[in-house]
Amino acid sequence: MYNFNLFEHPAGGYRKLFETCEELSETIPATVTGRIPSFLKGSLLRLGPGLFEVGDEPFYHLFDGQALMHKFDFKNGQVTYFRKFIRTDAYVRAITEKRVVITEFGTFAYPDPCKNIFSRFFTYFQGVEVTDNCLVNVYPIGEDYYAVTETNYITKVNTDTLETLKKVDMCSYVNINGVTAHPHIERDGTVYNIGNCMGKGASLAYNIVRIPPTQKDKSDPIDKSKVVVQFPSYQRFKPSYVHSFGMTDNYFVFVETPVKINLLKFLSAWSIRGCNYMDCFESNESQGTLFHIAKKNPGEYIDLKFKGAPIGMFHHINAFEDQGFIVVDLCAWKGFEFVYNYLWLANLRANWDEVKKAAMLAPQPEVRRYVIPLDVHKEEQGKNLVSLPYTTATATMHADGSTWLEPEVLFSSPHQAFEFPQINYKRYGGKNYTYAYALGLNHFIPDRICKLNVKTKETWVWQEPDSYPSEPLFVQTPDAVDEDDGVLLTIVAAPGAQRPAYLLILNAKDLSEVARAEVECTIPVTFHGMYKP
């Protein structure tokens, strides 16, 4: 077991992750040490914020900076790097008007001072102008690629040139207010996603949307998007914040946390009071966490009540079925407080002692395994319904007919998060698996790459002084036999080094270094991305 003997970061080099950088006009070569595996022939695509202020107006939250797409290309053992801002409406208008024009997650856009009171009033009257700042992730739909955030807008990009092609409004196709940046993609290219919507009787619900794979007639698969199943909402006008969901071969898993979006506040107070998205979140301290399941084909909600203690949750790791149970592994944050409250840029750019002090107050991270029994009808209350031999997770039926879930903790270390999880998704997504990889957050500062054996709880760590990696993406060796036969790709910021950023390739078995490709420019924080073969 690795001892999490942590690096301190008094020099504050992590601040470089949150600094504006320029886009590139042409690709730049990287300096390679080690050997790039010959099977790496495509591109690593990553997204994150790259513009942290417009003129003299700053963006305030980690999720506000304007979307910058990064690309490392592999060819004949050589590596090149390129990046470009995505030409969203939010970005183009900000650059044109030299101010924040569209309200972001934690930054309110003030109305144009040059407009008179009447035109400002009418702008308010038209309601919310939702951001299309797609800084969170990129994924394929059919033969196209889309950069995404969590609103209803997704942006089609050319992954070779990084040109912005078009903005697509998912509201035009399905009943949805927004979709997550974490879809599930099946082997044939079918995409599933979730978002809140207006359900029956003007109350809220959550819809799972299916987008079919590439069409024979070359038509756009988005045209054929449809809702396959609907989950009810615990509160009528306050949907939970949803960042991802679980999917097995036959089921969807939706975890409804106590972190709520106050829709009435969102719709009414938005423009007049100068509110941003962050102002519309609140916690329902009495709700706890609700676990919902639905059948996949055909989509059918299973009306069983599963409850647990309150957690915040952004990322599912994996879910699978086993002997009449659904096993759900996720990155949890204990309690009902919204973790995004700790991701203001001012917090993240503070001195190391201040960063640590603030993080001490935040919810504690933990990797948890929950087990949901599919058959709870004939069992008596008070008895643990989980009979899987390899887990201590329990499910106990209460007198009111609900089943209480207690998790097994797979990893826990104070203020050390195992986050931005990845697995060998192509082969083990929705299946019984052994290994998860993640970005290690040390008091919210990303400073290591971790691997976890979810069966034995053994851990491995890659870490170097003053080095700040990103989410590790797993790429399998072509003729792999073992689940962890492959490499991890991550972008590391090394502010003090001669070349201040590099693509790092690690052996997924033991996290030993295979190669690195260094570039002569800084690279800011990135959230998610993909390897495109």
State in Å, rounded, how far the first CA of the chain is from the last one. Answer: 34
DSSP 224: G
How many CB atoms neighbour CB 286 within 10 A? 8
Close Cβ partners of 332 (under 8 Å, ≥ 6 residues apart): 311, 312, 313, 365, 366, 367, 368, 407
**292 assigned ligand-binding residue:** no
Q: Give the three-class secondary structure for 182.
A: coil
Q: Where are the alpha helices (DSSP H) in 28-144?
A: 89-97, 117-125
Is the Cβ–Cβ distance between 315 and 421 less than 8 Å?
yes
Q: Is 427 exposed, middle or buried (0-12, 13-18, 19+ CB in 10 A)?
A: middle
DSSP SS3 for 4: coil
Distances (CA, A) of 280 to 163, 283, 322, 384: 33, 10, 39, 38
Euclidean distance between CA atoms 209 and 232, whole angstroms: 15
Region of residue 55 (left: phi > 0; alpha: psi -120 to 50; beta: else):
left
Residue 352, H or E segment: helix 352-360
CA 46 to the chain's CA centroid: 12
Show Cβ contacts of residue 371 under 8 Å, excluding neighbours closer than 6 positions: 325, 326, 327, 328, 386, 388, 391, 393, 394, 395, 405, 408
DSSP-derived pairing of the beta strands 403-406 and 300-308: parallel
- Strands 473-476 and 53-54, by their bridges, are unpaired
- Determine if residue 182 is labeled as part of a ligand binding site: yes
Which DSSP string corresponds to 510-532?
T--EEEEEEESS------EEEEE
Cα-trace Rg, the chain: 23
Establish whether 315 is an annotated binding residue. Answer: yes
Tell whether residue 443 is among the known ligand binding residues. Answer: no
Residue type, 382: G
User: How far, in Å, are 321, 381, 397 from residue 377 at the CA level?
Assistant: 18, 10, 10
Indicate the annotated binding residues for Fe cation.
182, 243, 315, 528
Indicate the annotated binding residues.
182, 243, 315, 528
